[in-house]
Amino acid sequence: MQIISPPKIITGLYHSLEWKMPACSQKKIYLSFDDGPTPSVTDFVLNELNKMNAKATFFCIGVNIEKHKELFRELIAEGHQVGNHTQHHLNGWKTCTEKYVQDIEACKEAIGQNGYEHQGKLLFRPPYGKITRQQIKAVKSEYRIVMWSILSYDWLPERHTGQCLNNVVSHLKNDAVVVMHDSLKASVIIKKTLPSLLQICKDKGYELGII
Ligand SMILES: [Zn+2]
């Protein structure tokens, strides 16, 4: 079974992480794209967001930023927000805290050296959503650790057409943080899903904001 919204027991246990955005008076949701930048996927996402005049947050992997600098700069130039997703997409549960923090630092350097200036406290999302309590403690003074309220499962093959779109739309509500991926693994599903999702968000009157 796909767990689309994290259960309260998890969000309660890890309450120092951000699972949704604070309530605001506007109808607003927050799209996020993890694991890029990836040629032919990130450009597609940027183009679709641009058509709708929508902004999103991209949790980038440091090595991908270094490999695809132009694409990263394009993402910044279009006014999207960037968050840290480690340099090598590390699984926190399988990595010691010292190495984990170093890898986050390397990603921070890749982000800064390629022209991104962040407003306010930096953003971090742990790859696979896996981070230990010790790592949280080590990271949280410098970063807002942003999780999600809706997991799209865009990286898995659909069991029926429109499954990914339905995962998101059926859980959409104000202040939701949606996770999608601008990765090769998700490219087929994201190309099918994102245009319809953006249209539905617009039709439902949601503004798409940055975290
Ligand atoms: Zn990831």
Gap from CA of 128 to ligand 1 centroid (Å): 6
Distance of CA 89 to the CA centre of its chain: 13
Predicted TM-score (pTM) of this structure:
0.95
Gap from CA of 120 to ligand 1 centroid (Å): 23
Three-state DSSP class for residue 203:
helix
Q: How far apart are CA 82 and CA 80, in angstroms?
A: 7
By the 8 A CB rule, do 154 and 185 touch?
no
Token readout for 60 is 């980038």
Q: How far apart are CA 105 and CA 87, in angstroms?
A: 8
Gap from CA of 181 to ligand 1 centroid (Å): 8
Give tens-digit pLDDT for 162-208.
Answer: 999 999 999 999 999 999 999 999 999 999 999 999 999 999 999 99
Please name each of the domains of the chain with its CATH number: 8-208 (3.20.20.370)
Gap from CA of 137 to ligand 1 centroid (Å): 20
Percent of the chain with pLDDT over 90: 86
